[in-house]
Amino acid sequence: MKSTEEKLLSVFASLTGEVHELHTAISASLEWSKSHHGLATRSDLEQMESRIMSKIADFLASQKAFNTRQAAAVDAVVTSITGVSEDVAGLKALIEKLQNSPGEFTPEDQATADELQAAADALTVKLETASTALQALDEGTPPAVPATP
């Protein structure tokens, strides 16, 4: 048979267990209540932080891809217009050569005219390529954000 002391210890142990279970249930209820009555719990805040950081990471990846596309488009524009002013100067020189040719139209003048035509065609292709590259750059750029009043 158990002594009174042993019985008291057993009752206290049982009460301690019940108090702990009650505390756990109240804490869980309080956490649920906080998160469902406008008060954020630490867990709520951590989940919100995780969602925000995920959105920021997604945006940064998207922005990096956009910047890469823009850089390629700018490079294409620069490549396509490189030397245009030199090409125009070359065309002017050929035109002056033809204009300053004395007398009849000679085979040398015809060769100069053919060279002028080929150079003009090449310049046209270069300018069309530049136009296409500029259009691609423009299409890849988002519209301006309207000013807030």
- pLDDT tens readout for residues 52-72: 999 999 999 999 988 888 888
Q: Given this model, what pLDDT does residue 130 score?
A: 81
Determine the Cα–Cα distance for residues 136 and 78; give it in Å rounded to an integer: 13
Domain range for 101 is 70-140
Instruction: Look at residue 22 and tell me if it is in a domain.
Output: no
Instruction: Look at residue 87 and tell me if it is in a domain.
Output: yes
Determine the Cα–Cα distance for residues 127 and 61; give it in Å rounded to an integer: 34
Instruction: Look at residue 23 and tell me if it is in a domain.
Output: no
**Parts of the chain with a pLDDT under 70:** 1-4, 7, 31-38
- What the block records as the tokens of 114 is 């053919």
Instruction: Look at residue 48 and tell me if it is in a domain.
Output: no
Pair 36, 44: CB distance under 8 Å = no
Q: Given this model, what pLDDT does residue 126 score?
A: 85
- Has this prediction a pTM greater than 0.85? no
Determine the Cα–Cα distance for residues 47 and 32; give it in Å rounded to an integer: 15
Determine the Cα–Cα distance for residues 122 and 109; give it in Å rounded to an integer: 20
